[in-house]
Amino acid sequence: MNTPKSYDTCWLKFQPIKDKQIIDKYSSSCSKIVLDENNLYLKAISKELKNGLKELLGFNPDCTDYLPDSGAIILGRIGQFSFVDDLLESHEQEGLNTEGFIIKSISSKGHKRILISAKSDNGLLYGVFRFLLHLSIEESLEDLYIFENPRSELRMINHWDNLDGSIERGYAGKSIFYENNNLVQNTERLIDYARLLATVGINSIVINNVNVHSNETELINQKISITKKLAEVFREYGIRTFLSINYASPIQSGELDSADPCDLKVIEWWESVISNLYKEIPDFGGFLVKADSEHRPGPLTYGRDHAQGANMLAKILKSYNGILIWRCFVYNCKQDWRDVTTDRAKAAYDIYKQFDGAFLDNVVLQIKNGPMDFQVREPVSPLLGAMPHTSQILELQITQEYTGQQIHLCYLIPQWKEILNFDTYAKGKGSTIKKVVGGLLHETKLNGFAAVVNVGNDFNWTGHYLAQANLYGYGKLAWNPDVSTEEITKEWIRLTFGKDGEIESVLLKMLLDSWLVYESYTSPLGLGWMVTPGSHYGPSVDGYEYSPWGTYHRADNKMIGIDRTSSGGTGFTKQYFKENENAYEYQTSCPEELILFFHRLSYTHKLKSGKTLIQHIYDTHFEGVQKVKDMKAKWESLRGKIDEHRFEHILARLTLQEEHTKEWCDVINSYFYRKTGISDIHGRNIY
Amino acid sequence: MNTPKSYDTCWLKFQPIKDKQIIDKYSSSCSKIVLDENNLYLKAISKELKNGLKELLGFNPDCTDYLPDSGAIILGRIGQFSFVDDLLESHEQEGLNTEGFIIKSISSKGHKRILISAKSDNGLLYGVFRFLLHLSIEESLEDLYIFENPRSELRMINHWDNLDGSIERGYAGKSIFYENNNLVQNTERLIDYARLLATVGINSIVINNVNVHSNETELINQKISITKKLAEVFREYGIRTFLSINYASPIQSGELDSADPCDLKVIEWWESVISNLYKEIPDFGGFLVKADSEHRPGPLTYGRDHAQGANMLAKILKSYNGILIWRCFVYNCKQDWRDVTTDRAKAAYDIYKQFDGAFLDNVVLQIKNGPMDFQVREPVSPLLGAMPHTSQILELQITQEYTGQQIHLCYLIPQWKEILNFDTYAKGKGSTIKKVVGGLLHETKLNGFAAVVNVGNDFNWTGHYLAQANLYGYGKLAWNPDVSTEEITKEWIRLTFGKDGEIESVLLKMLLDSWLVYESYTSPLGLGWMVTPGSHYGPSVDGYEYSPWGTYHRADNKMIGIDRTSSGGTGFTKQYFKENENAYEYQTSCPEELILFFHRLSYTHKLKSGKTLIQHIYDTHFEGVQKVKDMKAKWESLRGKIDEHRFEHILARLTLQEEHTKEWCDVINSYFYRKTGISDIHGRNIY
């Protein structure tokens, strides 16, 4: 039995199964584990299987290295364990990729056997977890057949944790990694975190904030022992450790007076630091760099370009099989909102497109999903898919910076699915983002996903219990972006709240609706940024309107929205491939949910619904309030069906959300009513 | 000679006089000091005189206790030193009040003598400083006659310093008192601070922030040694030490479960704490309390009223000659901006007026100058003068929270003079604020001034060198509110920059114009609060518009301003005495600089200038930018006439001010242009 933990176990519950019949059925296949005793597999693989079975079924399974005359689980890597090889068809052996796995039930001589196999330790580990989760929700083992390959190579989590224990844009407490400029004392929770990540197939982790302050600069150098210890924890679960680095490290951690990537002393400094890193952490993943952005140093500081800046580091990392991830979130902070020709949305494409083909093949560009910054609704970044000779990964934000900060329920899988299914037309119809980042569109060496995580040391990890679903769903999508939102969501609900039709139906609806509900009362028609500057929480319609970039809404008393067309606007539409350019360029073809992102319209502009734009704003905001009320009522209908702690905690968040939704509605509607003087046709209260 | 200090000496320079003729003239009266060797005067009195003379004239004056047969300074208290008494007329003796002083030159038997006398140590000290400052700007000693009485009893400085060294609303570095939750190690600067304050007649100081956090709560108890040491420093310069206290101290510092002022255990706890305070600091001044405001605890927390809450403490303090200062900055933070009937401006009067006569006579109400919160322009608080049976002191803010934060030049003496000369009509015409707080209108026991200070550990004390003038001017006005702004300002310029016609003329204009210039580009026609929430720096027109109180501008596309009349408005005008009520109630008689504070007007409303209101907003903002440019050019004309360090430092501030003024102009004008759609008749750039 598990000893009670000081934190929630999320979707990895492994509660003892109570149904005697099910225990009996499972036991007939699971009482023994056949594994190659000579293997050097990750210890976690057999340990997790044994512990998991014990927790679920209540007994310690025997381990053997021969085929017993009874039911058993056969566990091993293809090509290393003959029992395994014998049970696999050749198409199965060939079909698995490096990290894929196969689980199948086999009836042999009247015995029920389960095969869990893969070509790598990671594949085996994923198979074991998948099998245990299958048992934990008491699914049948009859004719079990699961064959899965991850679609992407990099399935990465980014932590914005700082060594002092703070988390930039963290909404779930303090860091689970660090406290007082050191590693946390008790690493038990870290191991459970690695387990959680492994169950959803995460294989890479960046352990510190992309904004690298002075303490964190030393993680490659004086504080390398912290990096090493974290790498040990994650290695055991198949996760490679990466660091965000400070491009000015040679100055700040070393004693050089420059960090110029063409300076030999600088190169030598990095060679020595990286050599030492790999001596300590032989499977170290590499670096993530936010360079020349938001006041971070970078190659431009020294008159070098991004390719020169990245390649210098990539060349050194390459000899150790390391990767350099270069983050394309760069914009000139010195722009002036008064200059209507500038457009922050254009920055990444303008800056990086020209470097296609100029990066070494172990450089990956990490590109945010939208051209702005993780807004509730943005078009997809035109840079994605537009650099055929450059590896690109998609950056998503699990932590809800602009999407309610884990106070509001905002389930992001529907948003991410839309992004992944977006057709770039980079190589004609069907050139979707999921193909771009899956490496299926252009033949790039590296591919995949990164996402800023939403966990902290809150009891429930994510502030809002239901925000756990965003982490779960991210892993599942990074593994396979073709799985449906509904499938992922139902799976998470079952693992987290058990199999119960009513709970499933209520939660499914709450989760699936939540993003559009959040959008309805915050960001009409593709506008974003109407949030309190700094905190990014709560409404402030003009909050960013006069900040340097200022290309946000430009609302006056007649018109609103940014003209980004090439006829009279900023010309951002031209960054897209023809089909999308044409769609966005014209009011008639532009998707309405993005219309104010691309077009400047009168408040009396008629939308497809027949409503005026201003009436649409009023209506969606009032409706948003009602929808959150309804959502809360739905949740309340589950009272008694869910343990009191989680029930009340989620209810409290929904109550807060309801209150803050009202604030959003009132502020946004009042702002536009006061500005336009146009009354709500339904005569509702606007202040 | 002074050893160079690590900080500026402000107006207390005492540089060696270089003009031989002047030295000779001064020396003929100042080579000896006659003082009563048996006196127990504050040591600072004779020490300052001796040191000052030495620094200015270059020699150590002899001290005697007999009248020498030569020129001399005769220093002593009336009634304690016969040489002094002999030289004073009876009307002079009678005319001096406790802290007043007299300085006069006397030619006796061919010898030039100077008498400095007073009835108290404080008076003597003020006389000595006054005399030294007179010498330091090389004024003549012929027919010298200075006879001064302070008009108010309490001339107080409030520090918003916290023990960790931070200063709430501090714009000049860290605290000069505290660091690392203790007193600063080197107290030399504290002594110079006490000297600076004494030269302008300050006699009371509150040494910690009115928002009393847990560490500062202990200044009355576990950390009393800090209080005691500060009291020792200030006592030497005639300044009594006060503490801001946490009303919940019995719970947080003691071990009680209540702070109910009617609970006997609570009273006993305070008796014991106060008794101990006076044992350690026999001349301790008393407490300042911010109760039941902005989430601070107070009597209302326990179902008691303000009088009950204040009198409990006052009664205990009374037996030690202590004072209780009760701060009338109270408003309900839970109001709702959607409710147009509420009005933050009404809060203090609504809450306190009813308690007139209910407070013990050692209770003083400390009332901010305006009903809101230290805005650039507010009407005078209607509570001032409206409680004939209650002692009131006026609270001003020297630190420039809403007036440019010591980046912008904003000399506040003109604002304070307007406030002091404001006629409340409390007892008919002539019932000015300066009479109210001078105790001349109602016969209240205590009277005077408090102000939140602007100093920190920056080299120049106040961030902006010229902000020193606000501290100097405050002291001078608290001493005598009838002195003209011009006189105070010229005096400060001479003491700080020397006697130079050109410097004086440039600086005088810069200082005297600066408040109205600041107003012109920030706060049109009595609007305030259009600042970034939290920091209170920089423009954010809607920043506070949807915060709970929300009675700020309510601008829509047709109208702006708050109707505070009693016909259809919030009725705030009714809190004034009839003459002012009538003036404010009607658009035609309301002073135009406050018109939007009291009235809601159309943007096309014609002002007295003939301009529309919106055109006035555009014009004043464009003019503000030009005026700051001109001001900077004026300053630049002084290059070479002022030491480079101060010249460049001030120039850098003016450059920043110019840049930020442009931002104010652009944001405010754009906001209103976008909202109203009304073009600038001059066709200037509005974005």
> What is the spatial distance between Cα A460 and Cα A473, in angstroms, rounded to a whole number?
17
| Contact across the interface for A675 and B670, Cβ inside 8 Å | no
The two three-digit tokens of residue B438, written as one number? 């001078």
CB contacts, 8 Å: B539 with chain A: 546
| Contact across the interface for B670 and A539, Cβ inside 8 Å | no
pLDDT at B1: 41
pLDDT of A211-243, one tens digit each? 999 999 999 999 999 999 999 999 999 999 999
pLDDT of A301-332, one tens digit each? 899 999 999 999 999 999 999 999 999 987 76
Provide the β-strand partners of residue B154. B448
Amino acid type, A83: F
> What is the spatial distance between Cα A375 and Cα A369, in angstroms, rounded to a whole number?
10
| Contact across the interface for A546 and B555, Cβ inside 8 Å | no
CB contacts, 8 Å: A558 with chain B: 677
Q: How many CA atoms lie within 13 A of B658 on its CB side?
A: 15
Counting other chains too, the contacts that A565-574 makes at CB distance below 8 Å and 24 or more residues apart are A565/A598, A565/A599, A569/A598, A569/A600, A570/A340, A570/A341, A570/A342, A570/A343, A570/A345, A570/A346, A571/A343, A571/A346, A572/A343, A572/A345, A572/A346, A572/A371, A572/A382, A572/A598, A573/A598
Q: How many CA atoms lie within 13 A of B650 on its CB side?
A: 25
Provide the β-strand partners of residue B32. B62
Is residue B270 within 8 Å of B316, Cβ to Cβ?
Answer: yes
CB contacts, 8 Å: B670 with chain A: 546
> What is the spatial distance between Cα B385 and Cα B447, in angstroms, rounded to a whole number?
12
Q: Is B294 part of the annotated catalytic residue set?
A: yes
What is the pLDDT averaged over residues A510-533?
97
- What is this structure's pTM? 0.93
> What is the spatial distance between Cα B464 and Cα B510, in angstroms, rounded to a whole number?
14
State the complex-level ipTM.
0.90
> What is the spatial distance between Cα A403 and Cα A416, in angstroms, rounded to a whole number?
13
Q: Give Cα separations from A543 to A528, B274, B403, B667 (angstroms).
A: 11, 48, 21, 12
Q: Interface of chain B against chain A, CB under 8 Å?
A: 337-338, 340, 532-534, 539-543, 546, 554-558, 663, 666-667, 670-671, 673-677, 685, 687
Which residues are CB-neighbours of A284 under 8 A, at least 6 positions away? Answer: A231, A240, A241, A242, A277, A278, A320, A322
Is residue A362 within 8 Å of A446, Cβ to Cβ?
Answer: yes
Mean pLDDT, rounded, of chain A: 95
Q: Lowest-confidence range among A158-162, A186-190, B204-208, B413-417?
A: A186-190
The two three-digit tokens of residue B164, written as one number? 């960790």
Nearest to A219 by CA among A237, A240, A242, A236: A242
Which residue matches tokens 């406290």? A179
CB contacts, 8 Å: B532 with chain A: 533
| Contact across the interface for A677 and B338, Cβ inside 8 Å | no
Beta strands in B247-339 (DSSP E): 286-289, 323-327
> What is the spatial distance between Cα A458 and Cα B360, in angstroms, rounded to a whole number?
50
Helices (H), A381-500: 413-421, 433-437, 468-479, 485-497
Which residue from B minimizes the CA distance to A556? Answer: B674
Q: Which residues of chain B have pLDDT under 50?
A: 1-2
Q: Interface of chain A against chain B, CB under 8 Å?
A: 337-338, 340, 532-534, 539-543, 546, 554-558, 663, 666-667, 670-671, 673-677, 685, 687
Of chain A, the percentage scoring pLDDT greater than 90 comes to 91
The two three-digit tokens of residue A657, written as one number? 């959300």
pLDDT of A38-83, one tens digit each? 777 899 999 999 999 999 999 999 999 888 888 999 999 999 899 9
| Contact across the interface for A557 and B677, Cβ inside 8 Å | yes
Nearest to B274 by CA among B337, B343, B324: B324
Which candidate from B556, B663, B670 shows the least CB-CB separation from A674?
B556
Residue of B675, B678, B679 to mutate for A, most A C-beta atoms under 10 A: B675
> What is the spatial distance between Cα B399 and Cα A300, in angstroms, rounded to a whole number?
41
Q: How many CA atoms lie within 13 A of B487 on its CB side?
A: 8
Q: Is A427 exposed, middle or buried (0-12, 13-18, 19+ CB in 10 A)?
A: middle
The two three-digit tokens of residue A233, written as one number? 């924890």
CB contacts, 8 Å: B540 with chain A: 542-543
Q: Which residues of A are catalytic?
A: 294, 373, 401
Is residue B525 within 8 Å of B375, Cβ to Cβ?
Answer: no
Checking if the pLDDT of A299 tops 80, the result is yes
Nearest to A433 by CA among A423, A445, A444: A423
Q: How many residues does chain A have?
A: 687
What is the pLDDT averaged over residues A93-112?
93
Classify B108 as helix, strand or coil. Answer: strand
Nearest to A249 by CA among A303, A205, A301, A207: A301
| Contact across the interface for B546 and A670, Cβ inside 8 Å | yes
Q: Give Cα separations from A316 to A218, A266, A277, A278, A423 (angstroms).
A: 19, 12, 12, 11, 36
Q: How many CA atoms lie within 13 A of A342 on its CB side?
A: 17
pLDDT at B3: 57
Q: Lowest-confidence range among A287-291, A377-381, B333-337?
A: B333-337
Where does the pLDDT of residue A334 fall: very low under 50, low under 70, confident under 90, or very high at 90 and above? confident
